[in-house]
Amino acid sequence: MAAKKIAKVGVKKEKGYLYFVDKHGDVSAAKMARGAKKGGSAKKVAKVGIKRQEGYLYFIDKQGDISAAKMVRGGTKKKKSVKKTKKRK
């Protein structure tokens, strides 16, 4: 997986939180659910505003920066299903 760095943010990750790039291109964090404890709603950590490109996976790397990797689409292709019509009498 050859990921390339998109933006240097330098977010310090805290244990127990999930960090992600939200739909606005900013870095957000949400408290992870553990056992009976529920998770929390997402809070904006850093305002970056990157433009997303289709076919790429955006994530926060070990340095706390935004990186992107091209998505690999594997698996088998679905066969087209043929619709059967009822005969009219």
Give pLDDT tens digits for 16-65.
999 999 999 999 999 999 988 888 898 999 999 999 999 999 999 999 99
Distances (CA, A) of 86 to 66, 72, 80: 54, 41, 19
- Shortest CA distance to 13 belongs to which of 57, 48, 45? 45
Contact 32, 16 (CB under 8 A): yes
* pLDDT for the residue numbered 17: 93
Neighbouring CB atoms inside 10 A of 12's CB total: 6
* pLDDT for the residue numbered 43: 92
Distances (CA, A) of 30 to 16, 19, 38, 42, 55: 9, 7, 11, 4, 24
Residue 51 phi/psi, 5° resolution?
-95, 125
Query: Domain segments of the chain: what residues?
Result: 4-70
Looking at the predicted structure, is the pLDDT value of residue 84 above 80?
no
